[in-house]
Amino acid sequence: MPHKNKSVTLLELLIVIVIFGLIIVGITSINVFSRHNVVSSDRRTRLQNEVSLCFEHITKQGLRTIGNETIYGANSAVSIVANTSLSFLVDSNPNGRKDSSDTWVSYTFSRPNLVYCANCGSNPTCVCSAANREVLSEKIVTFNPTKVAGFTQGNHIELLIAARWDPSSSATISPQNPEINMQATIDLLQYLRANK
């Protein structure tokens, strides 16, 4: 009885290697694609959190604002230098009255830093000392506060903040360097008191 020799031919071996190679390339490309998307999504989420914290900080200080610009005049409670700074006159001794103990707090933008100054004294455009200085973010590319026109009472501020993962990069926005833009209107009316 003849013995049948079982062996793998060269053609069969090449087919198995090609199929195995295609499977490895497919798995690798799925892995690279998913990692790329996870990194991009994670960066956008971190930027959104950072800008949200900036908005929250600004709103908290804005709600401590004392005075009403329709009564006391322009820049008596809120001072804005276009694309550079936003300052609030805050009720320092929370007595609900505008008096000499009230101080200015300031948010200053110098790309890419957004800096909070806790005590500017009586000067809305202060130069902040190191003791009163807090850097809120180092990823800001746009800081644009504006007073909202058309309201008959109170102070209303529209604020636009844009942040980029690598703000120093002159490269275009990409999944590796995402940019987010957030805008809000801060209504200070219900927290303002007028001295009568």
CA angle 10, 14, 16 (to 5 degrees): 120
Domain that holds residue 169: 42-191
Confidence at residue 19, expressed as pLDDT on a 0 to 100 scale: 93
Confidence at residue 193, expressed as pLDDT on a 0 to 100 scale: 45
* Mean local confidence (pLDDT), 159-187: 87
Asked whether residue 108 is domain-assigned, the answer is yes
Tens digit of each residue's pLDDT (9 = 90 or more) over 124-170: 877 787 787 899 999 999 999 988 765 545 568 899 999 999 988 76
Asked whether residue 14 is domain-assigned, the answer is no
Asked whether residue 126 is domain-assigned, the answer is yes
Confidence at residue 190, expressed as pLDDT on a 0 to 100 scale: 44
Asked whether residue 27 is domain-assigned, the answer is no
Is pLDDT at 192 greater than 60 in this prediction?
no
Mean pLDDT of the chain: 83
Is pLDDT at 78 greater than 90 in this prediction?
no
Asked whether residue 73 is domain-assigned, the answer is yes
Tens digit of each residue's pLDDT (9 = 90 or more) over 100-133: 888 899 999 998 999 999 888 888 877 787 787 8
Confidence at residue 96, expressed as pLDDT on a 0 to 100 scale: 75
Cis peptide, bond prior to residue 94, ω within 30 of zero: no
**Range in 41-45, 88-92, 94-98 with the lowest mean pLDDT:** 94-98
- Count: domains in the chain: 1
Alpha-carbon separation of residue 14 from 9, 11, 20, 24, 135 (angstroms):
9, 5, 10, 15, 61
Cis peptide, bond prior to residue 112, ω within 30 of zero: yes
CA 72 to chain centre: 32
Asked whether residue 116 is domain-assigned, the answer is yes
Q: Which amino acid is located at 130 in the chain?
A: A
Q: Helix or strand or coil: residue 136?
A: strand
Asked whether residue 178 is domain-assigned, the answer is yes
Asked whether residue 23 is domain-assigned, the answer is no
* Mean local confidence (pLDDT), 170-193: 76
What's the rounded Cα separation, in Å, for the pair 180 and 161? 8
